[in-house]
Structure 1
Amino acid sequence: MATGGNAIRGTRVGAGPMGEQDHGHHAERIAVSYWDALGNETVRYFSAVVSPDEIPEVIDSPHSGLPAGRDRENPPAVAKTEPYKTHLAYVKERRTEEEAETLLDDALQQLRERRGL
């Protein structure tokens, strides 16, 4: 049995020549830090050729889900969410009690007329 070396044994599929130091060109990038209201820092990396106008001022923090901004001392406030309103709640905002009584009386009168009561 020959004891010749096998160049493939012990290497990953797709790996370059053994000892290859350069694994491709790395683009220049900048790190931008964001902070949420709890003080959590999140770092996002952007290409160095990107215009500063294209880098977002606010992101969603992956730690807390809160909005995170670039100013550590003044993180963005949590947007206030309105509670869910039912259809009836919206109707009550548009109508007074007197208008509701009048509409109900009209609807009942029409129903009685159709039924012959």
Structure 2
Amino acid sequence: MVHAASGFRGTRAGAAEGFAPKNQPGNAVGDSLPRMRVSYWCSKGHETRPVFVKLPEDQIPVVWDCRRCGGTATRGQFQPEAPLEEPEDGYKSHLEYVKERRSSQDAEDVLAGALERLRAGGALPD
């Protein structure tokens, strides 16, 4: 059991100035590094502004993940992307795969047969 008056205490991450460990030299207590905010824009127009320690311009990341949609955000101003005809990752929806396998006439025949079976079973009115 730890006594309430124990000297063994931790500090939370991001603690306020002046809460440095007691075993550090006196000049380290309360010292903070200069910080800066950098704006990143994703293709949907969301702005993300992470905080960095003051760094030279070439060390600041060029891209960052958007906090709202997870897309790639860049430091340039927002410019909407043109819609893609074919997805980059080659993903196709279920409907696209079905359209590759069946013609419109096949789809009409399958639908007519399914409706006929439902009406015969009394599930659908005529």
Q: TM-score, normalised by structure 1?
A: 0.45
Q: TM-score, normalised by structure 2?
A: 0.42
